Structure 1
């Protein structure tokens, strides 16, 4: 991903995805991938495993053209925004369910920071 500081879009019209936004988004995704099955494991092992497939698989398969270099099925930008929001929600809810309050607070702050840095990208995606 290309670092874009003062541009609305990249030179090829790609997403205005800053390095900070990418790092925060990926960090939150990692938390969701770990915390969600952790939180679900005691309820249902198959559900915990399915959560990983969903959280990793959906954003891999469904991508908005111009947002990422790879993707199997093109979708409107709103779908990509919903997938990011799903990851954020999974990370926060699962952290509060599975881990101690101090860790869950850090995850919640990470998610808020992610949302703030994602706003330019989400604006761009809204018109795709």
Structure 2
């Protein structure tokens, strides 16, 4: 299976990740600065350490494609939930639309991750 052109998907995925990296600690900071820091460590650290061979150039700890998909879903959920929790409604709506678009554009990559790359 040929690797699909996923430039649009990667831009949307990265934008959603950035939102998660900002919104999650923002939402948690009023409760605990330690939880806010932990959120950043988890949201950035897990996908950095765990990756599916063939999907990422540098893999520290190889995992099946399903794990990579779950890590993306974690980012999407964190972005949406934190945005609704901490930001005005208009911003949360924008984040929700971004996450939905990311979910749609990720489908070819996810099919590839579950088949060829090792689901």
- The structure richer in helix per residue is 2
- TM-score, length basis structure 2: 0.95
User: Aligned-residue CA RMSD in angstroms?
Assistant: 0.9
Matches of 2:15 and 2:52, distance apart in 1: 21
Q: Report the CA distance between 1:70 and its aligned residue.
A: 1.1
| Structural mapping, 1:6-85, within 5 Å | 8-10=1-3, 16=4, 18-85=6-73
Matched residue, 1:5: none
- Runs of at least 5 residues in structure 2 that lack an aligned partner in the other structure: none
Which of 102, 107, 115 is the aligned partner of 2:103? 115
- TM-score, length basis structure 1: 0.88
Matches of 2:19 and 2:58, distance apart in 1: 23
Q: 1:123 to 1:18 in 2, by over 3 A?
A: same
The total of aligned residue pairs comes to 116
Q: Report the CA distance between 1:71 and its aligned residue.
A: 2.0
